[in-house]
Amino acid sequence: MRARGDVLPKTAESSQYLYIQTFGCQMNEYDSLRVERMLAREGYLPTSDLNSAGVIFLNTCSVREKAEQKVYSFLGRLRSIKVRNPGLKIIVAGCVAQQLGKKLLERFDYLDLVVGTRGVASIAQLLERSQVKEERIAHLPEEEDQAHWLHLFERTSSIDSPVVAPVTIMQGCNNFCTYCIVPHVRGRERSRPMAEIIREIRLVANGGAREILLLGQNVNSYGRGLPGKPSFVELLHRICVETEISRIRFTTSHPKDLTDDLIACFGELSPLCKFLHLPVQAGSDRILRLMNRGYTASRYLERIERLRTICPEVGLSSDVMVGFPGETEEDFRETLQLLDEVQFDNLFSFRYSDRPYARSADFPDKVAEGIKARRLIELQSLQAEITLRKNQREVGCVREVLVEGPSKSGDGQIMGRTQQNRIVNFQGTERLIGKKVQVRIMGAFSHSLKGELAEYRG
């Protein structure tokens, strides 16, 4: 969860300030960025001060129960602010909005707009309608509202891009993993035309972006619904040839769609970072089948082996869920065994929880919360050992780092990432932001590395 915004300029009216709160995934962050840009064209300035905002925009996530609860608790805090400032407009978009629609307006009677996952492009017009007519609106279109969305970048004269810029290439998912709400709230797969993606990447590169993060629920099935069915591999090749971008990452990939062609890209395309996030979810074939994941543990391991043969230095991260209905101790041990075998560089792990629409909510043999909690701790401590050990192996190596900005650690340090997505903090000036530098790794921690500048050719 994060808030976007800056300190308020003193001259503007409070009704011109926009507070954005984003919950959940990187795709939501990308949508929030677009809403910020869209509303900037209507005169709204970003703020990080809730009390000064004229518009509060919440981009929500309901993929996990915890994220959904955070949304409700945040909404609860807004009631008193609305009482003090009745002119304030509160907008809720994203998965929770899609899932609950009008019910959200009923439950929180001070909300002004509820906008479904396919309606975000219309926020400026909806906001105006709500202001002029004093209407409370639930907008949940069946089809994407694209009219004022797709050309936003073209019509923005200058884009001040961060060093790493997200670019959505597709939305939705056709896979229907039994635990997942995404196909129900985000809809079926829809890919953006390749030419439009290339245009957007050129624009963000002109605005200063050096790395792009291609986003989609399942990026490697990109293009299936487009004329001529272009593939994700073709898209990667075109980005390398037709844009000046110097690093490419992508997320999320589905193991069942990780083709040999895509694996070959890691050996062929130099801008493609040597890093892959490949969610495995479980190490037991029985659980993977119940999850409807479409692969077995041995197939997953075979894909990893092939990738490491083509690109031995590749960094890997994954998602794992513990306590899926019916998960026995033996199933869980198989997940630990897979972790031990793969040796991921990083892992995102979660406890299973029933989600609305998800088929697994009706599955029998639910695992007790205490058992889930114990399994999660065991899994996370195994992974913490692996991550630290792998980070420690970096000490003494010189790595290419793309500098992203000041380090959170302060002390005048700056931070960047290696190709393998490891955060490196080191002493340096802010003129290095956006540059690739060689950094000698001097120390390793659980979540980052410490380094010193080895070489920079300005």
Q: What is the binding site for ligand SF4 (CB under 6 A)?
A: 173, 175-177, 180, 182-183, 217-218, 254
Contact 16, 86 (CB under 8 A): no
For every residue of 354-402, DSSP letters joined together read --TT-GGGG-S-PPPHHHHHHHHHHHHHHHHHHHHHHHHTTTT-EEEEE
- Count of H helices and E strands in the chain? 14, 20
- Cβ distance to ligand SF4 smaller for residue 123 or 182: 182
- Cβ distance to ligand SF4 smaller for residue 238 or 359: 359
> Minimum distance between the CB of residue 173 and ligand SF4, rounded to whole angstroms?
3
Question: Which of 106, 76, 112 is closest to 92 using CA atoms?
Answer: 112
* β 211-215/247-251 pair status: parallel
> Minimum distance between the CB of residue 63 and ligand SF4, rounded to whole angstroms?
8
- Cβ distance to ligand SF4 smaller for residue 252 or 419: 252
Give the sign of the dihedral formed by CA 106, CA 108, CA 109, CA 115: negative
Q: Which helix (H) or strand (E) holds 263?
A: helix 260-268
Structure tokens at 400: 């290419």
Identity of residue 323: G
> Minimum distance between the CB of residue 247 and ligand SF4, rounded to whole angstroms?
25
> Minimum distance between the CB of residue 109 and ligand SF4, rounded to whole angstroms?
32
Write the DSSP symbol of residue 7: P
Give CA–CA dist 98/100, Å, rounded.
6
Angle between the N-to-C axes of helices 123-133 and 26-40, in degrees from 0 to 180, rounded to the nearest 10: 60
> Minimum distance between the CB of residue 290 and ligand SF4, rounded to whole angstroms?
13
Give the sign of the dihedral formed by CA 80, CA 83, CA 87, CA 90: positive
- Cβ distance to ligand SF4 smaller for residue 163 or 291: 291
- Cβ distance to ligand SF4 smaller for residue 231 or 292: 292
> Minimum distance between the CB of residue 357 and ligand SF4, rounded to whole angstroms?
11
Question: Which of 49, 55, 52, 23 is closest to 36 using CA atoms?
Answer: 55
> Minimum distance between the CB of residue 178 and ligand SF4, rounded to whole angstroms?
9
- Cβ distance to ligand SF4 smaller for residue 199 or 256: 256
> Minimum distance between the CB of residue 218 and ligand SF4, rounded to whole angstroms?
5
- Cβ distance to ligand SF4 smaller for residue 16 or 171: 171
- Cβ distance to ligand SF4 smaller for residue 96 or 138: 96
For every residue of 28-66, DSSP letters joined together read HHHHHHHHHHHHHTTTPEE-S-GGG-SEEEEEE--SSHH
- Cβ distance to ligand SF4 smaller for residue 176 or 445: 176
> Minimum distance between the CB of residue 129 and ligand SF4, rounded to whole angstroms?
32
- Cβ distance to ligand SF4 smaller for residue 202 or 256: 256
> Minimum distance between the CB of residue 281 and ligand SF4, rounded to whole angstroms?
8
Q: Please list the residues that pair with 319 across neighbouring strands.
A: 348
Overall residue count recorded for the chain in this entry: 458
Measured between alpha carbons, how far is residue 50 from residues 55, 77, 120, 365 in Å?
Answer: 9, 10, 21, 44
